[in-house]
Chain A
Amino acid sequence: MRMILAVMYREFRIRTTSLTWIFYDLLIPLLYLLIFGIALNRTISSGILLAGTLVSYNAFFLAGVLSMASFGIALNTAYGFFVDRDNGIFFEFLTYPMTRSQFLIGKILFNCLLAVLQAAITVAFAAVLLEIPLMWDRMGVLLVAVVLTTAGWFFFLSSFALRIRRNDMFNTFMNLAYFVLMFASSIFYPLEGLPGWLRTTAMLNPLTWHTEMLRFATIGADSPVLLETLAFLVFLLASFYFALRTLRYGILK
């Protein structure tokens, strides 16, 4: 545990050296919700049918915003491997008295705390400013879901960040992958109206499972959340295994 705390402390120190970073991490989801969400809320004024009831687009989109936000934090944290490599400190870290799993877990845990704080701010503003009716009794579920999903994506992205040597290659690859993942998911729209092939793709997309877990925890969902949660847990464990394997054997072949 001491080593995990040491890695968390280091992440905290690095993050707090840049106010821009903190601003980005904490407030960008709000901007998504306030600008993109409000605009679409006006456009789709009839609302969206969810679990047999009509909800506003803002309410529907809230889970999507939280989803994008925790994915963003995971992506930034994985990108941190490139920064550490440029600073030369990455390989030195790997000689410190800790296991590879302590390193990975410590690195994401601080950022999970950041993701929870970010979600709390977003949810509070969503309730106060946009008057989204939230299921307050499920906030504990939301907290756990934010932590698990942020960690899951971090482990998934780490396998690539650790294998790919050039950060421009990583950025290009991630932009493309994120584009596909985001639009073939339930972040922006419900899956019911999608063409069959896109719907099937979206249902197999971990970002859909992620978003539906958060939707269940905020306004309720009509998808098989339990199954999606289990699927995401499998995705998380598999990603952790591959990230660990990459860190052990894949960084300097």
Chain B
Amino acid sequence: MYPMTIGTATAIVAENLVKVYRERSSAPVRALDGMSLEVKSGEVFGLLGRNGAGKTTLLRILTTLVEPTSGLVSVLGFNVQKEPYQVRKNICAVLQENAVELYLSVADNLATYARFHGIPREKARPRIEAAIRQFGLEEYRTQKVIDMSGGTKRRIQVAKAFMVDTPLMFLDEPTTGMDPITKRTTLDALRVESSRGRTVFLTTHILQEAEELCDRIAIIDHGRIVAQGDLRTIKSLASNIVDVSLTFSEVTDRLLEELSALPLLKLTRRHNSFDFSLRGKEQSALDVITRLAASHSIMEVEIRGATLEDAFLELLGRDISGTPGEEPRS
């Protein structure tokens, strides 16, 4: 078990946090605009938001890389501005950029990291071996990192964070560039860490990941938290949205026209199947399906409640309706 907290049941508290970046060559940028949030000890907390919403700035403040312009922020009970060293002693961070020693081998990268985190050599060795095994890095163990792919470098970076015992772990889009197998390994490993009492603070673009992993979620936009709570609470914000999947025996121009005419929130197509979301209750979805079934042969129907993605889009007010004839963008 990890020392879950240092005298507090709350791992992170941010109150009315403001961060303004000032560059001589450009206008000031208000990256955080009075943001407040609370992360409980031992939970997996997901911070979601579109690009430029303020996620990375918040992570930089919490990991003591930058100071807020105003507001209060504490990590594990330590004031980030007044006690940054105490904060750093209790955290580890996987930042957005690939952070590896390019001219060292994989094993040496892990050994150097262990040394920085005060792990004695005899304890470090088995941990390095475990991390190498866990992240499938056996074949690269003695190779210099410089020639490796971006995904492998990311694996090394994430592996480092699993070698240390800090009670709080920050991960900024940790699975970026990873193949599906390593991605799965990382998510599973995070779940294990969480079950051992470690607090995980995660930012991600991948909503399914957040949905699967996070105990609580906050959605940030323009430097402010627009929603915060557990998955059910967040989803309930999109309770008047239903998701529908329909598979047709054939796709005709008329069908595409009819779908285009519907007031859909989003629409994606894969061969003869269409996924769309519409505002309303299940009855609205049934009405639409009945109308379409009158002139087209429907082979499969699925109606689901709102997903995290629906809540995300609903909160951020984005319309991502596609053109019905287009394949979904990957």
Q: Are A95 and B63 in contact (CB under 8 A)?
A: yes
**With an 8 A cutoff between CB atoms, is A48 at the interface?**
no
Q: Which residue of B lies closest to A7 (CB)?
A: B116
**With an 8 A cutoff between CB atoms, is B91 at the interface?**
yes
Q: Which of A1-29 contact B (CB under 8 A)?
A: 2-3, 6, 9-10, 13-14, 17-18
Q: Are A253 and B22 in contact (CB under 8 A)?
A: yes
**With an 8 A cutoff between CB atoms, is A89 at the interface?**
yes
Once the chains are docked, how many angstroms separate the CA of A3 from the CA of B67?
Answer: 23
Which of B95, B97, B102, B157 is in CB contact (< 8 Å) with A95?
A: B95
Q: Which of A76-108 contact B (CB under 8 A)?
A: 87-89, 91-99
Would you give the shortest CB distance from A109 to chain B, in whole angstroms?
Answer: 15
Q: Which of A47-101 contact B (CB under 8 A)?
A: 87-89, 91-99
Give the B interface residue count (CB, 8 A): 33
**With an 8 A cutoff between CB atoms, is A249 at the interface?**
yes
Once the chains are docked, how many angstroms separate the CA of A89 from the CA of B88?
Answer: 16
Contacts known (A2-B118, A10-B112, A13-B112); A87 close to B85, Cβ less than 8 A: no
Would you give the shortest CB distance from B78 to chain A, in whole angstroms?
Answer: 12
Q: Which residue of B lies closest to A9 (CB)?
A: B115
Contacts known (A6-B115, A92-B93, A99-B85); A249 close to B67, Cβ less than 8 A: yes
Would you give the shortest CB distance from B167 to chain A, in whole angstroms?
Answer: 13
Q: Which residue of B lies closest to A89 (CB)?
A: B99
Cβ-Cβ contact count across A and B, 8 Å cutoff: 78
**With an 8 A cutoff between CB atoms, is A227 at the interface?**
no
> Chain A, interface size: which category?
20 to 34
Q: Are A13 and B104 in contact (CB under 8 A)?
A: yes
Contacts known (A9-B115, A13-B108, A91-B65); A98 close to B99, Cβ less than 8 A: no
Q: Which of B66-116 contact A (CB under 8 A)?
A: 66-67, 85, 88-89, 91-93, 95, 97-104, 108, 112, 115-116
Once the chains are docked, how many angstroms separate the CA of A28 from the CA of B91?
Answer: 43
**With an 8 A cutoff between CB atoms, is B60 at the interface?**
yes
Q: Which residue of B lies closest to A96 (CB)?
A: B116
Q: Are A88 and B88 in contact (CB under 8 A)?
A: no
Once the chains are docked, how many angstroms separate the CA of A99 from the CA of B60?
Answer: 16
Once the chains are docked, how many angstroms separate the CA of A18 from the CA of B102?
Answer: 12
**With an 8 A cutoff between CB atoms, is B273 at the interface?**
no
**With an 8 A cutoff between CB atoms, is A252 at the interface?**
yes
Once the chains are docked, how many angstroms separate the CA of A9 from the CA of B170?
Answer: 26
Q: Are B97 and A14 in contact (CB under 8 A)?
A: no
Q: Are B100 and A87 in contact (CB under 8 A)?
A: yes
Binary contact track B41-80/A, C-beta < 8 Å → 1, others 0: 0000000000000000000100111110000000000000
Which of B22, B99, B112, B144 is in CB contact (< 8 Å) with A88?
A: B99
Would you give the shortest CB distance from A2 to chain B, in whole angstroms?
Answer: 6
Specify which chain B residues have a CB less than 8 angstroms from the CB of A2 in the assembled complex.
118
Specify which chain A residues have a CB less than 8 angstroms from the CB of B22 in the assembled complex.
253
Would you give the shortest CB distance from B287 to chain A, in whole angstroms?
Answer: 52
Specify which chain B residues have a CB less than 8 angstroms from the CB of A93 in the assembled complex.
116
Binary contact track B210-235/A, C-beta < 8 Å → 1, others 0: 00000000000000000000000000
Q: Which residue of A lies closest to B98 (CB)?
A: A88
Specify which chain B residues have a CB less than 8 angstroms from the CB of A88 in the assembled complex.
95, 97-100
Q: Are B103 and A253 in contact (CB under 8 A)?
A: no
Once the chains are docked, how many angstroms separate the CA of A252 from the CA of B29?
Answer: 12
Q: Are B103 and A89 in contact (CB under 8 A)?
A: no
Once the chains are docked, how many angstroms separate the CA of A91 from the CA of B85?
Answer: 15
**With an 8 A cutoff between CB atoms, is B23 at the interface?**
yes
Once the chains are docked, how many angstroms separate the CA of A10 from the CA of B99?
Answer: 14
**With an 8 A cutoff between CB atoms, is B117 at the interface?**
yes
Specify which chain B residues have a CB less than 8 angstroms from the CB of A249 in the assembled complex.
67
Q: Are A95 and B112 in contact (CB under 8 A)?
A: no
Q: Which residue of B lies closest to A14 (CB)?
A: B103
Q: Are A18 and B103 in contact (CB under 8 A)?
A: yes
Specify which chain A residues have a CB less than 8 angstroms from the CB of B100 in the assembled complex.
87-89
**With an 8 A cutoff between CB atoms, is B140 at the interface?**
no
Once the chains are docked, how many angstroms separate the CA of A14 from the CA of B116?
Answer: 15
Once the chains are docked, how many angstroms separate the CA of A14 from the CA of B146?
Answer: 13
Q: Which of B139-172 contact A (CB under 8 A)?
A: 144, 157, 170
Specify which chain A residues have a CB less than 8 angstroms from the CB of B103 in the assembled complex.
14, 17-18
Specify which chain A residues have a CB less than 8 angstroms from the CB of B116 in the assembled complex.
3, 6, 10, 93, 96-98
Q: Which residue of B lies closest to A90 (CB)?
A: B99
Q: Which of A204-253 contact B (CB under 8 A)?
A: 249, 251-253
Q: Are B89 and A97 in contact (CB under 8 A)?
A: yes
Once the chains are docked, how many angstroms separate the CA of A177 from the CA of B92?
Answer: 39
Specify which chain A residues have a CB less than 8 angstroms from the CB of B92 in the assembled complex.
95
Contacts known (A14-B104, A87-B100, A94-B64); A253 close to B23, Cβ less than 8 A: yes
Q: Are B99 and A97 in contact (CB under 8 A)?
A: no
Contacts beyond the supplied A91-B99, A252-B65, A253-B66: 6 A-B pairs with Cβ under 8 Å? A3-B116, A13-B112, A91-B95, A92-B95, A95-B93, A96-B116
* 20 A-B pairs with C-beta separation under 8 A: A6-B115, A9-B112, A10-B101, A10-B115, A13-B101, A14-B103, A87-B102, A88-B99, A89-B99, A91-B60, A91-B95, A91-B97, A93-B116, A94-B65, A95-B88, A97-B117, A97-B118, A98-B88, A99-B85, A252-B66
